[in-house]
Amino acid sequence: MPVLRSIVHMDLDTFFVSCERLLDSRLNNKPILIGGTSDRGVVASCSYEARKFGIHSAMPMRMAKQRCPEAIVIKGNSATYSQYSRMVTEIIKEASPLYEKSSIDEFYIDFTGMDRFHGVLKYSSELRHRILKETGLPISFGLSENKTVSKIATGEAKPNNQLQISYGQEKPFLAPLSVRKIPMVGLKTYQSLCDLGIRTIHPIQELPIEMMERALGQNGVSIWKKANGMDQSPVVQYNERKSISTERTFNQDTIDVVKLKGILSAMAENLAFQLRRGDRLTGCVTVKVRYSDFQTKTLQKRIPYTAADHELIPLVMDIFKRAFDRRLLVRLIGVRYSALVTGNHQLGLFGDAIDYPALYRAMDEIRLRYGDRAVIKAIGLQAKTIGGWNPFNGEPPALLANRRS
C-alpha cells in the first residue's frame, strides 16, 4: 500500500506589496502597484485592493493606472524583497525536514510521517504563525497529499489563511473550480478547453484520459491527472543544486586586462543564459583569479535574486576589479553563481527604459536555435564558448566548462 504523503504549499501573500507595507504602514488598505513607474513599465505585483479593478501581474502600467487612477505606484526594490525572502527561507529551513523553494515567495514542504509525532495541520499552522510573527509578512498554505492540490488549496485559502484537503477529498475539492486554477493551464490552453465546452475541472474528471490526449496531446494527459488530484512529483530539497560556474586556465599566463574582461563578460553572459534556461535566479556572485604563483583570490557578493545580463555582467566586472589587486600574470579566472532559486525574471519588471524580460526571451530563443554564441556582447567576442549544456536537466557538465585557451 503506497504511503500517504503530507505536502504543504506555502505562498507569501502579495509578497512585494507586503514588503513595502512593512516599510511604510501608510500603504495599508490602499491600492498598490509595483513595477515600472512610467507608462512603458509593467505591473510586477499589485495589492488585493488593486485587483478589484481587474489589475493583474504583467499588465501594462498605463492600463493599470487607467483602471485605478488612485493607485499608488512604487518602482520596487529587489534587494529588499530578496532580504525578506531569505528571512522566511531560514525559518522554514529550521522547521522542516525537507523543503523546496520554488520561487522567491513560494515553498513546498514534505511533512510525511510527522503525524506520528505531531499533527501536520497543527504544526504547519504554527509554522505559518511563526513566519507572520517574526517577519510581519502574511502567508497562506494548503495541505494535501500532493503538490498540485496543495498549491491550488493555497490559492483558495488566500489571503493570510490556510486550507487542508483531506485524503480522498481531492476530486470533490477540485471539481467546481475553474480549469485556470490548474497549474500549467495558461490562456492558450484555457481557450482550447473552452472550445471543447470545458470551463470547470469537473468535466475533465468525467472524460476518459484518452480523449484528453487526443485533444491536447501529452499536455492533455498531464491536465487530466492534475484535474483528478494525481501528482507524484516529489518535493526536491532546496540545496540540491547550489551553484553553476565556469573557469578558464590559460596556456600562457597573461596580464592583458582587456582580454581578461572580455572572457569574464562572456562567462557572466553565458552563465546568465544557463540560469534563464533552467528557470533559475542567483543570489550570490563569485569571481576567482589565480595568479602565476598559484596564489588565488576569490571574492563574492550577495545580491538580489536575478538572471539578467545587464545586472550580472557589471557586477562581475566590479568584483574582478577588486580581486585583481596584484601586478602578476594571471593563470586562471572563473565565475560562479550560487544561492540559486527557481523562478523567472519577475524582479526585472521594475525597470522602465527597456523591456528586459522580453529582450532576454528573444535573445535566448536565438541562442537555443543557433548556438550559445549566436548573440554575444562585443567585449566577449574573443572568448571561446563554455559549452551549450543545460546544468538543470540532469545532464553532466560538458568538458568545455573548464578549458584552456
Catalytic residues: 106
Q: For residue 349, count other CB atoms closer than 10 A to its CB.
A: 24
Closest CA to 106 of 344, 304, 392: 344
Phi, psi of 308 (to 5 degrees): -100, 130
The DSSP-derived string for 74-107 is: E---HHHHHHHHHHHHHHHHHH-SSEEEEETTEE
Which cell is 235 given?
Answer: 518535493
One DSSP character per residue, 234-294 reads PPPPGGG--EEEEEEEEEEEE--HHHHHHHHHHHHHHHHHHHHHTTEEEEEEEEEEEETTS
Return the C-alpha cell found at 371: 548556438
DSSP 3-state of 34: strand
